Amino acid sequence: SISENEFLSLVGSAEKQSEHPLAQAIVQGIKDKGISLRDTTEFEAIPGFGIRAVVDGIEILVGTRKLMNQYNVPIANAL
């Protein structure tokens, strides 16, 4: 398990490469919290699905349920 700040740092670091307005808003919100972003070694925008990036050797996926299914990421049906 990771802390909220660690999670936000990873997501923001992945999203900072994206040109999507929502990604830019996410990155700005994370920066506004004073959370530092890291270097991204890989980045792929997947139109209509989201993004895939590697930050500090960790694969990060941000996107739709279809993207998560494509990468076999388990998602709970209820929150």
Return the domain boundaries, the chain: 4-70
Instruction: Decide: 49 and 67 in contact? Cβ < 8 Å.
Output: yes
**Separation CA 65–CA 56 (nearest Å):** 24
Instruction: Decide: 43 and 53 in contact? Cβ < 8 Å.
Output: yes
Q: Residue 78: which pLDDT band, with cuts at 50, 70 and 90?
A: low
Model pLDDT for residues 27-46, shown as the tens digit of each residue: 999 999 999 999 999 999 99
Identify the architecture of domain 4-70 in CATH: 3-Layer(aba) Sandwich (3.40)
3-state secondary structure of 28: helix
Kindly state the average pLDDT of the residues 38-61. Answer: 96
Question: What is the model's pTM?
Answer: 0.88
C-alpha closest to that of 71 among 51, 55, 47, 41: 51
Kindly state the average pLDDT of the residues 19-33. Answer: 96
Per DSSP, which regions of 1-79 are E strands?
40-46, 50-55, 58-63
